[in-house]
Amino acid sequence: MPQIELKDISKIYTVGGQTIKAIDSVSLKIARGDFLSVVGHSGSGKTTLLSIIGGIIRPTSGNMLFEGGDISNLDDDALSGYRNEKVGFMFQFASLLPVLTSVENVMLPGLFSSADRSDDYRKAAEYLDIVGIGDKINSYPSQLSGGQQRRVAIARALLNDPDVILADEPTGDLDEETEADIMALFKRLNHEKKITFILITHNLHLAAQASRRLRMTRGALEEF
Amino acid sequence: MTKSFTLFSFATRNLKRKPLRTAVLVLSIALLVSALVFILSFVRRVDTVVRTASDRLGADVIIVPAGSRGAADDILLENTVKTFYMDKGLVEKVGRIKGVDSLTYQTYLASITGECCDVPETIVVAFNQDTDFIIKPWLDKAMTGRLKKGEAIVGSESAMNISLGLTEVDSHLFGNLFKMVGTLEKTGTGLDTAIFIDESNIEDILIKGKSGLKPGQISIIFARVKKGEDPSKVAGDIQDSSVEVNAVARKDIGRNILSTLKDLNRVFFVTVMLVSVLSVFLVWAVFSAIANERAWEIGIMRAIGAREGHVSGLFLVEVLFIGMTGSILGIVAGTTISVFLAKNFMLLKNVSAGLGLAERLVIALLSLTAGVGICVAGAMSPIRRLKKMEPLLAIRKE
């Protein structure tokens, strides 16, 4: 059984009276521990696809299965639980909350979890150390560089030990050295923890490092 | 180093990010609640004072010179210094009215200030100890035996006013030396601010000529009616018997004040409602702005697993913090105003001072509930809108 299965997923937006088909009848199977890259032009539907897999939007039609269960029709509480426990999200922009320190930003998913959180601080500090900014745990986002903020977001995505990490252009505005560091970290986590990675990027060099490469064109998906 | 991270600490960080905005909201709620506390204290106290004074008067019917009923209310209920006079012969005339059981009378004199050892302006009550049933119940507890010529006894608040606090201190009244021999128990009526002397002193006061009183005049007659008689009917009969007097049954004492109070209540109610609605709109406007500003953050929170309840909880903590802080400040301010500022107004004198702890607690609780309720009511709609947004749309601030 695949870990993730998209069955004939479509997503239609209505903007200003016009309908836009962002995802057009996409089907896809992803096994546990896969490392996927998705490339495509801006507006091709990459972020929408990632958002449907992450449960932050619902498809207009079709089914999104996770470990055999359909998440498309879950109620808000169950879907929030899925996002909290199964998925780690990295956005294409700095997504840290400005009033929280690095370690608090990393601990944030724990605040919404029903599991025992007594170990969160230690885990958050450890993940910040792993991503290379263990000396910045009490810094606020405004005191961090773009690369450091990305690393905090990675640590946050890891806190709840997710099964899948969804990364939407996580190295988009970073220098080559930081980009290489982050990719190395992703590969290590993928290899050691068997975390499934779905990486959206414009960078074909990065995309080439994935075990499966996909391209989106006007809402349609193809493997290449 | 912060090791615990809770929804509460998160909410307080959010409040601190725009301290001026938070302070304005807190102050707005504080102003509303302080006004509410002041108004409730005022209404409650005036109502209690009037009813207590009326209940404790000891007479069934009060007879004053025609046109002086308002002045009599002022003296008996509001501690105002006023004088009015009528012919003493009216005592006998009133005594002949059917249904009247017993009578006593008093003469009111306004003390004057300016000379050494004169007491501050106070109403001085000359009364007849042989017939009195108004002062006696309170006097008997203060001293034994009769009040002699040249002796005076002071109301509980007069004692403080003239800095006596102690008996056996001499003071001047209308140029005559009086020995203060006792302090009346607190009655909760106009008697508390008066000084009491026996009517035998009036002759000396007339000789010194320092009061507006003329020989053969008195100020007020108190009547008790026979058992089974209706005081209102007896008052009506007295009124009909002479155009020189106004007679009023005890239950009607302060009716004008209570009637005015009812009108004031309505004005207060409308004012408080308007201010409350305004406050709800203010909170709504501020939280709508906050919701727009933080939609992106809420989207991020929702994307990493926050439920609708977490979003509501976070904002509710912020709203409750603002509501409770504002309300507590308002309760302290409102109580302070009602105690101190009220003394500057004739009608409000001692308005709050006499409220019991239970009454104060009820007023505080009502005001706290109103303050917090207004905050919650104002913030509900923006919070609901925010928590219902799809995470991706919130992140994109759409």
Q: What's the pLDDT tens digit per position in B270-328?
A: 888 888 898 899 999 999 998 888 888 999 999 999 999 999 999 999 999 999 999 99
Higher-confidence residue of A82 and B259: namely: A82
3-class secondary structure per residue, chain B: CCCCCCHHHHHHHHHHHCHHHHHHHHHHHHHHHHHHHHHHHHHHHHHHHHHHHHHHCCCCEEEEECCCHHHHHHHHHHCCCCCCCEECCHHHHHHCCCCEEEEEEEEEEECCCCCCCECCCCEEEEECCCCCCCCHHHHHHHCCCCCCCCEEEECHHHHHHCCCCCCCEEEEECCEEEEEEEECCCCCCHHHHCEEEEHHHHHHHHHHCCCCCCCCEECEEEEEECCCCCHHHHHHHHHHHCCCEEEEEHHHCCHHHHHHHHHHHHHHHHHHHHHHHHHHHHHHHHHHHHHHHHHHHHHHHHHCCCCHHHHHHHHHHHHHHHHHHHHHHHHHHHHHHHHHHHHHCCCCCCCCCCCCHHHHHHHHHHHHHHHHHHHHHHHHHHHHHHHHCCHHHHHCCC
Q: Is residue B232 part of a domain?
A: yes
Residue A130 has a pLDDT of 84
Q: Residues 132 to 191 of A: which have CB under 8 A from any B CB?
A: 138, 156, 160
Among A150-154, A185-189, B149-153, the least confident range = B149-153
Residue A51 has a pLDDT of 92
User: Where among B252, B276, B300 does a domain terminate?
Assistant: B252
Q: Are strands A164-168 and A61-66 parallel, antiparallel or unpaired?
A: unpaired
On whether both B218 and B107 belong to a single domain, the answer is yes
On whether both B146 and B172 belong to a single domain, the answer is yes
Contact B307 A91 (CB under 8 A): no
Q: CA nearest A93 in B: which residue? A: B395
Q: Is residue B75 part of a domain?
A: yes
Q: CA-CA distance, A99 to B318, in Å (whole number)?
A: 14
**Average pLDDT value for chain B:** 80
On whether both B244 and B96 belong to a single domain, the answer is yes
pLDDT > 70 fraction of chain B, expressed in percent and rounded = 77
Residue B371 has a pLDDT of 92
Mean pLDDT of B141-170: 66
On whether both B192 and B79 belong to a single domain, the answer is yes
Tell the residue number behind the tokens 């006499």, with chain if given: B354
User: Where among B191, B217, B252 does a domain terminate?
Assistant: B252
**Per-residue confidence band for B104, with pLDDT thresholds at 50, 70 and 90:** very high
Among A56, A99, A101, select the one facing B391 at the smallest CB separation.
A56
Angle between helices A102-111 and A120-130 (to 10 degrees): 130
Mean pLDDT of B54-58: 68
Q: Which domain holds residue B305?
A: 7-51+257-395
Residue A212 has a pLDDT of 93
pLDDT digits (tens, 9 = 90+) for B202-258: 888 777 766 677 888 898 899 999 988 898 899 899 888 888 888 888 777 766 666
Q: CA nearest B7 in A: which residue? A: A111
User: Is B167 a residue whose pLDDT tops 50?
Assistant: no
User: Is B168 a residue whose pLDDT tops 50?
Assistant: no
Q: Is residue B2 part of a domain?
A: no
Q: CA nearest B18 in A: which residue? A: A99
Strand partners, A36: A198, A212
User: Where among B205, B230, B252 does a domain terminate?
Assistant: B252
Among B3, B17, B305, select the one facing A112 at the smallest CB separation.
B305
On whether both B91 and B240 belong to a single domain, the answer is yes
Residue B117 has a pLDDT of 47
On whether both B64 and B46 belong to a single domain, the answer is no
Contact B303 A100 (CB under 8 A): no
Residue B347 has a pLDDT of 52
On whether both B224 and B261 belong to a single domain, the answer is no
User: Is A127 a residue whose pLDDT tops 60?
Assistant: yes
Residue B148 has a pLDDT of 83
Burial of B116 (0-12, 13-18, 19+ CB in 10 A): exposed
On whether both B217 and B177 belong to a single domain, the answer is yes
On whether both B299 and B159 belong to a single domain, the answer is no
Cβ-based contacts of A113 with chain B (< 8 Å): 305
Q: Residues 19 to 78 of A: which have CB under 8 A from any B CB?
A: 51, 54, 56-58, 76-77
Q: Is residue B217 part of a domain?
A: yes
Higher-confidence residue of A214 and B247: namely: A214
Cβ-based contacts of B390 with chain A (< 8 Å): 56-58
Q: Residues 87 to 116 of A: which have CB under 8 A from any B CB?
A: 89, 91, 95, 97-101, 103-104, 107-113
Mean pLDDT of B114-121: 51
Residue B392 has a pLDDT of 81
ipTM confidence score: 0.91
pLDDT > 70 fraction of chain A, expressed in percent and rounded = 100
On whether both B235 and B132 belong to a single domain, the answer is yes
Is the pTM above the cut of 0.90? Answer: no
**Per-residue confidence band for B103, with pLDDT thresholds at 50, 70 and 90:** very high
Task: Please say whether the dihedral angle defined by the alpha carbons of residues B173, B179, B183 and B184, taken in this order, is positive or negative.
Answer: negative
For chain B, what is the domain count? 2
Residue B114 has a pLDDT of 46
The reply to whether B130 touches chain A by the CB within 8 Å rule is no
Q: Is residue B1 part of a domain?
A: no
pLDDT digits (tens, 9 = 90+) for A33-66: 999 999 998 888 999 999 999 999 899 999 999 9
Higher-confidence residue of B372 and B138: namely: B372
pLDDT digits (tens, 9 = 90+) for B325-373: 999 999 999 888 877 766 665 555 544 446 778 888 899 999 999 999 9
On whether both B93 and B214 belong to a single domain, the answer is yes
Q: In sequence order, what are the residues at sequence separation of 6 or more whose Cβ sits closer than 8 angstroms to the Cβ of residue B124?
A: B108, B109, B110, B111, B152, B173, B174, B194, B195, B196, B197
Cβ-based contacts of B10 with chain A (< 8 Å): 99-100, 104, 111
Q: Is residue B247 part of a domain?
A: yes
Tell the residue number behind the tokens 């986590």, with chain if given: A189
Distance from the Cα of A89 to chain B's closest Cα (Å) equals: 7
C-alpha distances in Å from residue B1, one per residue of A101, A104, A133, A136, A137: 11, 11, 16, 12, 9
On whether both B156 and B80 belong to a single domain, the answer is yes
